[in-house]
Chains A and B, each alone.
Chain A
Amino acid sequence: MPLLPGIEASAAALFAGWPGALAGDGPTAPPEALDLCRVAGTLWVAADREDAPVGFLAAGDLDGFLHVHEISVAREHQRRGLGRALMAAAIDFGRWAFIPAVTLTTDRIVPWNKPFYATLGFVELTRDGLPPGHAAKLAHELDLGFDPARRCVMAKVL
Chain B
Amino acid sequence: MMAKGFWIARVDVRDADAYKNYVAKNGRAFAKYGGRFLVRGGAFETVKGEARARNVVIEFPSYQAALDCFHSPEYQEALAEQKGGADVDLIVIEGYEGPQPGEG
Interface set of A (CB-CB < 8 Å, partner B): 38-42, 61, 96-99
Contacts and interface: CB of A to CB of B under 8 A. Distances in A.
B23 A97 contact: yes
5 contacts: A39-B31, A41-B26, A41-B28, A97-B23, A98-B20
Contact of B16 (A40, A42, A98): A98
Contacts of B31: 38-41
Contacts of B13: 98
Chain B contact-residue range equals 10 to 19
Of the candidates A39, A41, A42, A61, the one having the most CB atoms from chain B within 10 angstroms of its own CB is A41
Please report whether the interface of chain B is mostly helix, strand, loop or mixed according to DSSP: helix
Contacts of A99: 20, 24
Given A39-B27, A41-B28, A42-B27, 20 more contacts: A38-B31, A39-B28, A39-B31, A40-B24, A40-B27, A40-B28, A41-B26, A41-B27, A41-B30, A41-B31, A61-B24, A96-B41, A97-B23, A97-B24, A98-B13, A98-B16, A98-B19, A98-B20, A98-B23, A99-B20
Nearest to A41: B27
A96 B23 CA distance: 8
A61 B27 CA distance: 13
A101 B98 CA distance: 45
Interface string B1-42: 000000000000100110110011011101110000000110
B43 to A, nearest CB: 13
A157 to B, nearest CB: 15
A50 B30 CA distance: 25
Nearest to B31: A39
Interface in B26-82: 26-28, 30-32, 40-41
A101 to B, nearest CB: 13
A99 B17 CA distance: 9
A67 B32 CA distance: 23
A68 B31 CA distance: 20
A135 to B, nearest CB: 22
A56 B41 CA distance: 23
A61 B19 CA distance: 15
A97 B26 CA distance: 11
Nearest to A37: B27
Contact of A39 (B17, B32, B40, B41): B32
